[in-house]
Amino acid sequence: MRRMISFAALAGIAACATPGVDYEARLPANHLAAAEYRDVEVGGFSGPVGGWYSDRFEDMLASALLDGRPWFRLVSGPPADGALSGLYAGRISVDDVDEHSYEQTERKCVEWDGLFDCETRADVIELCVETRVDVSVYPELIDRATGEIIFGGRYSGSASDTECSDDPHHRSWRGRFSHAPRELIREALLDTLQPIRNDIAPRNARVRAPMVAEAIDPVARADPRFEQAVEAAKDGDALQACNMWSDLAGEFPNAPAVLHNRGACAEARGDYALAQKLYATAAELTVNYTQGDLDKSIRAINGSLARISERRFGESWIDQADGYIPLPVIDDEDVTLDEAADGEMEAES
Dihedral sign of CA atoms 35, 36, 38, 44 in order:
negative
Kindly state whether residue 1 falls inside one of the protein's structural domains.
Answer: no
E strand or H helix that includes residue 13? strand 12-14
CATH code for the domain in which residue 40 is found: 3.30.160
14 and 143 inside one domain: no
Contacting residues for 132 by C-beta, under 8 A, at least 6 apart: 96, 97, 98, 99, 100, 158, 159, 160
Three-class SS of residue 152?
strand
CATH code for the domain in which residue 225 is found: 1.25.40.10
Look at residues 150, 166, 201 and tell me which one is the last residue of a structural domain. Answer: 201
212 and 185 inside one domain: no
Which amino acid is located at 175 in the chain?
G
Look at residues 201, 218, 235 and tell me which one is the last residue of a structural domain. Answer: 201
Contacting residues for 241 by C-beta, under 8 A, at least 6 apart: 13, 19, 211, 229, 230, 232, 233, 261, 265
Q: How far apart are CA 90 and CA 66, in angstroms?
A: 25
When divided into structural domains, the chain yields a total of 2
Query: Are β-strands 117-143 and 85-114 bridged in parallel, bridged antiparallel, or unpaired?
Result: antiparallel
Kindly state whether residue 2 falls inside one of the protein's structural domains.
Answer: no
Kindly state whether residue 284 falls inside one of the protein's structural domains.
Answer: yes
Q: Is 324 exposed, middle or buried (0-12, 13-18, 19+ CB in 10 A)?
A: middle
Domain that holds residue 284: 7-25+205-348
Q: How far apart are CA 244 and CA 252, in angstroms?
A: 12
88 and 152 inside one domain: yes
Kindly state whether residue 130 falls inside one of the protein's structural domains.
Answer: yes
SS (H, E, C) 286-314: HHHCCCHHHHHHHHHHHHHHHHHHHHHHH
Q: Per-residue confidence of the chain (349 residues) as pLDDT tens digits?
A: 334 444 444 444 444 457 888 999 999 999 999 999 999 999 999 999 999 999 999 999 999 999 999 999 999 877 777 788 999 999 999 999 988 777 777 888 877 877 778 877 887 877 888 889 999 999 999 999 999 999 999 999 999 888 888 776 654 444 444 457 899 999 999 999 999 999 999 999 999 999 999 888 899 999 999 999 999 998 888 889 999 999 999 999 999 999 999 999 999 999 999 999 999 999 999 988 866 656 888 999 999 999 999 999 999 999 999 765 444 433 444 433 334 333 333 333 3
60 and 197 inside one domain: yes
pTM to 2 decimal places: 0.76
239 and 337 inside one domain: yes
